[in-house]
Structure 1
Amino acid sequence: MFVVAGESLIDLVARPQVSGGAMDMSAHEGGSPYNCAIALARLGQASGFLCPISKDTFGDRLMGPLAAAGVVPLIAERSNCNTTLAVVTRNAKGLPAYAFYRKGTAERDISREKLMAALPKTIDVFQIGGFLPIEPEDAEIWLDVVKQVAARGAVLSIDPNVRPSLIDDFAGYKARLDGFLDLAHIVKVSDEDLSALDDTLSIEAHAQLLLARPNVKLVVVTMGDAGSRAFTASGEAHAAVHRPAVFGDTVGAGDSLMAGVLTALAEREALTVDRLGGLDAQDLGEVLRFGAVTAGLNCGFVGCNPPSRDDVDAVLKS
């Protein structure tokens, strides 16, 4: 089973305002790990989601897409805390910016005991990301869980989604993130993530530093309209973006790409620590292409709406 750990939330997406009018918003289920869990299931993978979900109305909305996709909510008991909210606005290029409201919310209603008790016996890939390293008390709990999962032999994958606007102590955040990165076998980041962490380094330099960490075997970097790149000790590759017939927005594109990459790796029987580092340029190009199509089809909608496997296959065969 693919287990995805991290936050779920509601994106309140702001629509363009008429001068002098009230702000109009639409509500969409979201959160990077939540999106990735659904995307994996829609691509045909057995997917479990490790995050408390609220008993409130927004929590009911979050449960619906999980059930429809066939994702297993691993924490069965709903939380009494409210759902995290993210207000989403877009720049001139359509890229999203976020403001978060998450103090005392359900996705932070965690303990070591609750999380460990919810884990399935068999975990093939443990995908983590989003908010796990942000708060010191949360990071301590999650890092302990990740260490215990690593001890079981699972492949660990991380998509940190660096959010400077959420972080009061960025140096402390980077130190906590380092703890997770040192355990990971697969790291997926955006060029914006890398710039936030250190804007003096090139993408290539960042990738090599990540590959020099104790366990990292594969680095995937997304670059917006410029596509994506992948790096291992055996090669590197680039893939262009896949543009949908009708563009919605880019919300959830990176999460869909992550699910596509993991699916493509699984189908090549490459999701093992020994095989990841041996992926060459051709392998990486094929994996990135699958991820790019998955992400591009998601961008045909407003809000995150990952494609089915049939949808991806239809594009790849065309």
Structure 2
Amino acid sequence: MFVVGGESLIDLVAQPLADDGVIRMEAHAGGSPYNCAIALARLGNSTGYLCPISQDNFGDHLLGPLHRAGVTPLMAERVTAPTSLAVVTLNARQQAQYEFYRSADRAFTEDGLIAALPAAPVVFQFGGFCPIEPVDAKAWLAVADAAAARGAMITLDPNVRPSLVADFESYKQRLSGFFDRAHLVKLSDEDLAALDAQKSIEQHVTELLRRPHCELVVVTLGEGGSRAFTKNGEASAEIYMPPVFGDTVGAGDSLMAGILTLLAEQGDLTPGMLGGLDSAALAKVLRFGAVVAGLNCAEKGCHPPTRDEVDAVLAS
């Protein structure tokens, strides 16, 4: 089973200002790890999701897409804390910008998270908000250690958001512990610039590949596509643009799910195999991830594609 840990929340998306001057909001289930879990399941993977879900109506709204995709909520007992919220605005290029109000996604204990882990996870994918708060970071790192002890590959998508962090230098120190545990790290060029704008992508990647376990680094470049690096090769891929474009919400999460899916199918999600991928193998993985991400962008909000939809594009 793939296990994805991290926040779920409701995206309240602002609609264009109406003639009556009223701002109207649409509610969409979201959160980077939540989106990734759904994308993994829709691609045909056995997937468990590790995050508390509120007892409120928004919690019901979050559970619906999980159940429809076939994701197993690993924390069966729902919490009384209200669902976390993200207020989303879209710029002129339909790219999402966020402000967050957190509650239920933090309503956990370290022991409770570890107790909810399956006995033998294949992959533990986490990131998003996990490193932001010191007490949360400690708990999530313990979960990663427990998952690794049970045989899981550790994969990380930190989704760096400086606006959410009161002390960014302390956050970077906590994030370093996450990097030290990960076999695969995915970041955006914006993430890397936030961490250190003076370093090139290549410098960041070289430092990550020197970490104790890191074997593969994927960097997304927005409209510029994506790049992948191991010590044995590197590759790049263009974005896949769907015939009809909605927005980019969940695109990076879908790309990560696509990459993990193909790596698992090829038997490469094991120590040594991952780091041995050459340029041709990396290009194939990136292309698959790009199609998954592009198909997600065919609708407004996060709507990851099925495996049949991805295969149809790859075959065309």
Find the counterpart in structure 2 of residue 303 from structure 1: 301
Find the counterpart in structure 1 of residue 168 from structure 2: 170
In the alignment, is the contact (CA less than 8 A) between 2:53 and 2:104 conserved in 1?
yes
> How many Å apart are 1:20 and its aligned residue?
6.5
Equivalent AA in structure 1 for residue 266 of structure 2 = R
**After superposition, where does 1:279-318 map in structure 2 within 5 Å?**
279-318=277-316
Q: 2:201 aligns with which of 186, 203, 207?
A: 203
Equivalent AA in structure 2 for residue 65 of structure 1 = P
Find the counterpart in structure 2 of residue 21 from structure 1: 21
Q: Structure 2: how far apart are the matches of 1:208 and 1:170?
A: 22
Find the counterpart in structure 2 of residue 51 from structure 1: 51
Equivalent AA in structure 2 for residue 282 of structure 1 = A
Where does structure 1 lack aligned partners over 5 or more consecutive residues? none
% identical aligned pairs: 63
Q: 2:118 aligns with which of 117, 120, 130?
A: 120
3-state SS in 2 of match to 1:182: helix
3-state SS in 2 of match to 1:273: coil
**After superposition, where does 1:1-318 map in structure 2 within 5 Å?**
1-18=1-18, 21-102=21-102, 105-318=103-316
> How many Å apart are 1:92 and its aligned residue?
2.1
In the alignment, is the contact (CA less than 8 A) between 2:2 and 2:45 conserved in 1?
yes
Q: Structure 2: how far apart are the matches of 1:290 and 1:116?
A: 32
Q: In 2 relative to 1, CA 16–154 (structure 1 residues): closer, same or farther, beyond 3 Å? A: same
Q: Deviations over 1:162-214 (max 9, x none)?
A: 01110000001000000011000000000110010000111111111111111
Q: Structure 1: how far apart are the matches of 2:265 and 2:148?
A: 22
> How many Å apart are 1:19 and its aligned residue?
6.2
3-state SS in 1 of match to 2:181: coil
Structure 1 runs, 4 residues or longer, greater than 4 Å off: none
Q: Structure 1: how far apart are the matches of 2:216 and 2:90?
A: 31
3-state SS in 2 of match to 1:7: coil
Equivalent AA in structure 2 for residue 179 of structure 1 = G
Query: Quick check: 232-241 or 204-213, which moved more?
Result: 204-213
In the alignment, is the contact (CA less than 8 A) between 2:119 and 2:150 conserved in 1?
no
Equivalent AA in structure 2 for residue 283 of structure 1 = A
Q: Structure 1: how far apart are the matches of 2:221 and 2:20?
A: 35
Query: Quick check: 282-291 or 134-143, which moved more?
Result: 134-143
Equivalent AA in structure 2 for residue 253 of structure 1 = A
Equivalent AA in structure 2 for residue 177 of structure 1 = L
> How many Å apart are 1:231 and its aligned residue?
0.2
Count of equivalent residues = 316
> How many Å apart are 1:299 and its aligned residue?
0.3
> How many Å apart are 1:267 and its aligned residue?
1.1
Normalising to structure 2: TM-score of the pair?
Answer: 0.99
> How many Å apart are 1:141 and its aligned residue?
1.2
3-state SS in 1 of match to 2:187: strand
Equivalent AA in structure 2 for residue 148 of structure 1 = A
Root-mean-square deviation (CA), in Å? 0.9
Q: Deviations over 1:23-52 (max 9, x none)?
A: 121110000000000000000000000000
> How many Å apart are 1:155 and its aligned residue?
0.4
Q: Structure 2: how far apart are the matches of 1:16 and 1:269?
A: 46
Q: Structure 2: how far apart are the matches of 1:116 and 1:209?
A: 30
3-state SS in 1 of match to 2:308: helix
> How many Å apart are 1:160 and its aligned residue?
0.3
Equivalent AA in structure 1 for residue 227 of structure 2 = R
